[in-house]
Amino acid sequence: MSVPEYSAGEWTAIVRPGFVALLGPAAAESTVRDLWQATGDGVFAALALLARDGFAGLPPFALVSVDKRRVHAALRGDVEVVVDLEGRLETLRSGEVSTWTERVLDGVGSVVVQVDAPADGPTLPVADGVVRASRVRIALAVSDEDVAAAQDVDPVPAQVVVPPTPTAEPEPLEPSADDVPASEPSFVEEPVALVPVEEPETAAADTDPLGLVPVRDEQTDATGVVAAAEAFLSDSAFDEKHGTGGPTVPLTGASLDDHDGLTILSTDLADIRDQLPSWASDDMPAPFRAPQGAPMPAKLVLSTGLVVPLDRAVLLGRAPQVARVSNRELPRLITVPSPQQDISRTHAEVRVEGDHVLVTDLDSTNGVHVARPGEGARRLHPGEPSVVGLDELVDLGDGVTFSLERGS
């Protein structure tokens, strides 16, 4: 993402990394200061701050949050957001609503937040600050030439690999003191003479006279289970329990019937398990378990191509409005096209409760219809939440439908 650029104007622009807000001229100074502090949490936190005192003092605004090439925009009043979608410009406006309009778009190349600003006017860079502006532009897709220009350096030319020509083998050069960094000592390899090492006389004690008992490598017993078994079978408690009464026989002196000299009786396994740590019986011998990630919320897929996450309530309509504002949860407002005015201004609500997705007809004029494959459509009762499954299609009218997908 390149450095944002702005054009001077009468509105107040708040520019932070990944966030732009453009507020109307009547915005209070305290609102600007509070919004400056809340921009790190994105559009949702900014909306909660602007609507904390209700809609009476809500100024016109445009809020834009940028995450890689995804743009989340919320607009109210006479302001617009222009996005570049793979070379196609699309202009977002709030329309005649008393609240605001939200959109989420993917694959955006650049975004412009503006109000009555000429596109060819003089611009200045602003990486992080508050300025008086009428237009702010952010380029999301940045080429190598743009990065080099921003850093005031020439682009790195492509390297050309030339195959080496056969030459005589150069003579080895002696390293000089100047070639060695001052912070690291220089080492000169000395020739090492290989001296045969005699086997110690005690090496024979590791095996029995017939050579059938292998030597146990201490590194292969990382958890200490074998060592605990040896200690248990070789102490006096084992003798007292089984009444041997004689000297303890080490495990390395097992009989020829033992294939490896470490076989123990099944009657002693319970006692050995009692002496092991609690985590020894886990699938992985470690005191910690990896946390399980929380599942992603369900998604609402509209016939218009918009995909909306159901991480909070969603209001659908020709110009949806919020009846009540709660700082704890603000619904997501999704505007859908309705050329024939078949869809009401605030038509339906979709929200998640537990494992179910509920759809409510908000007293719309033409109602909400739900159809299952192979069955006829049913009309929802106004004001009553109804459970909608993943295999059902919800029809709002005027050709606008949506279905549900489970989060991944």
Domains and CATH numbers, the chain: 5-150 (no CATH), 224-279 (no CATH), 299-405 (2.60.200.20)
Q: Average pLDDT of 264-275? A: 67
* pLDDT for position 55: 74
The Cα–Cα gap between 386 and 275 comes to: 57
For 41-149, strand residue ranges (E) read: 61-67, 70-76, 80-85, 88-93, 101-105, 108-114, 124-125, 129-139
pLDDT digits (tens, 9 = 90+) for 96-136: 777 888 888 989 999 999 998 677 778 899 988 899 999 99
Selected residue with higher pLDDT from 153 and 399? 399
Q: Average pLDDT of 274-300? A: 60
Partners of 265 in the beta sheet? none
pLDDT digits (tens, 9 = 90+) for 359-388: 999 999 999 999 988 888 899 999 999 999
Q: Please say whether the beta carbons of 4 and 53 come within 8 A.
A: no
Say yes or no to pLDDT of 285 above 60: no
The Cα–Cα gap between 76 and 317 comes to: 16
**Percent of the chain scored above 90 by pLDDT?**
32
pLDDT digits (tens, 9 = 90+) for 221-257: 555 656 666 665 555 454 555 554 444 444 444 444 4
DSSP-derived secondary structure for 369-384: EEE-TTS--EEPPBT-
CA-CA-CA-CA torsion for 378, 373, 335, 89, nearest 10 degrees? -160
* pLDDT for position 149: 47
Selected residue with higher pLDDT from 338 and 247? 338
The Cα–Cα gap between 48 and 38 comes to: 10
Which residues, 6+ apart, have CB-to-CB distance to 122 below 8 Å? 7, 8
pTM of the model: 0.43
Q: Average pLDDT of 297-307? A: 89
Q: Which of 72-86, 123-137, 238-252, 332-346 has the lowest mean pLDDT?
A: 238-252
Is residue 3 very low, low, confident or very high in pLDDT (cuts 50, 70, 90)?
A: confident
If you average pLDDT over every residue of the chain, what do you get?
74
Q: Average pLDDT of 15-27? A: 90
- Alpha helices, H only, 11-143: 29-38, 42-50
* pLDDT for position 268: 66
What's the CA angle centered on 103, arms 99 and 107, to 5 degrees?
A: 165
* pLDDT for position 224: 63
What's the CA angle centered on 144, arms 140 and 145, to 5 degrees?
A: 100
**Percent of the chain scored above 70 by pLDDT?**
60
pLDDT digits (tens, 9 = 90+) for 386-404: 999 988 999 999 999 999 9
Is residue 59 very low, low, confident or very high in pLDDT (cuts 50, 70, 90)?
A: confident
Is residue 185 very low, low, confident or very high in pLDDT (cuts 50, 70, 90)?
A: very low
Is residue 36 very low, low, confident or very high in pLDDT (cuts 50, 70, 90)?
A: confident
The Cα–Cα gap between 266 and 251 comes to: 16
Q: Average pLDDT of 49-61? A: 81
Selected residue with higher pLDDT from 230 and 68? 68
Is residue 355 very low, low, confident or very high in pLDDT (cuts 50, 70, 90)?
A: confident
Selected residue with higher pLDDT from 264 and 255? 264
The Cα–Cα gap between 35 and 31 comes to: 6
